[in-house]
Every structure is written in C-alpha cells, then in structure tokens.
Amino acid sequence: MTTARTSFARRSFRGVAVAAIAGAGIALSPLPASAAVGGATGPALAAAPVAASSSAASSSAAQKAVDTALAQRGDMYLYGATGPDRFDCSGLTSFAYKAAGVSIPRTSKAQSTFGTPVSKGDLKPGDLVFFYSPVSHVGMYIGNGLMVHSSSAGKPVAVTNLDSMPSYAGARRVA
C-alpha cells in the first residue's frame, strides 16, 4: 500500500511540476555534467533539476525534441509504447521529434540509418545515440556527456551518462 501511495504522489507531483513549467513558458534544457556526480543514474539523476548545457542543439527542432524527451522523465518503459505516458526507447525518440514537427522512423534500427552520421566527439543536443550490434537501443543526447532514454521494463525514462551504456554503436543528427 505504501508503494501505491508513493507512486501516486510522485506521479501527481510530476504532473503539477510539468503543468507549472508549461504554464510559465519555461523551456527545459539539458542537464549539466555536474548533475551526474559519481556516475549516478536512476531516480536521483532522473529527478535532477534541468539546467543549461554547454553546447547548443543543432536546430530549434532538435531543442524542442530534447525538451519534450526530458519532460517525459519518470514515465515508465513499455515495449512497443509510443507515449504519451509510456515509452520504449525508439517510442520516446520518435514521440519527441514528432512534437518538434519532425517525422523519424519508429524503430531504433531504422532510426540508426536515418539522418546524418555524427562522430561521438561532435554530438549536439538532440542527436540520436545508438547501442549494440545490431542496433537495438536508442537514446537522445542532451549535452555534457548525458542522454535521456527509456531503457527497459520496470525503469522510467531517465537521464544517464552516455558512457555508462555498453556497446556504443554511433549517432545520427536528424534535425
């Protein structure tokens, strides 16, 4: 019973916070690298406040996609889900870019061949980052070595260090 109350309270607070941010017209920006102290991931990092990044998105559409993806933090993973309250990895990225007016393929494998290849050293917020061979996971780079993604069953959309993910396979710029 405590778990249900905690989950409901967290969900209610998230809804109020998102509504307050949207109502105030505040744009969400990528997290600073200092938010990932000690390589932290999970709820602490996922709930960290959002601050300005040291690098700019490649376009206004890419920034809108980043803002949209970050606004989904806390939503739970569900295989095949494309939102608005549950996502799989490619469902999150396609949902975020759709909100920015950009149509991208639905699956991580198809997304990995869409757009322009980008080297890891040239990543900008909004770039899609891919993992494993063959590609089976995608996240969105948000700046300062961090990405937002929907990783697996039982886990919420969260921000994590790009280098904490195994088997980096490349990146693409789609907007």
3-class secondary structure, 141: strand
Quick one: DSSP state of residue 122? G
Catalytic residue among 149, 157, 172, 175: 149
89 is catalytic: yes
Catalytic residue among 28, 36, 89, 135: 89
Interatomic CA distance for residues 32 and 2, integer angstroms: 33
Catalytic residue among 64, 86, 124, 137: 137
Q: Is 4 exposed, middle or buried (0-12, 13-18, 19+ CB in 10 A)?
A: exposed
Per-residue burial over 9-26, b if 16 or more Cβ lie within 10 Å, else e, is eeeeebeeeeeeeeeeee
109 is catalytic: no
149 is catalytic: yes
- Active site positions, annotated: 89, 137, 149
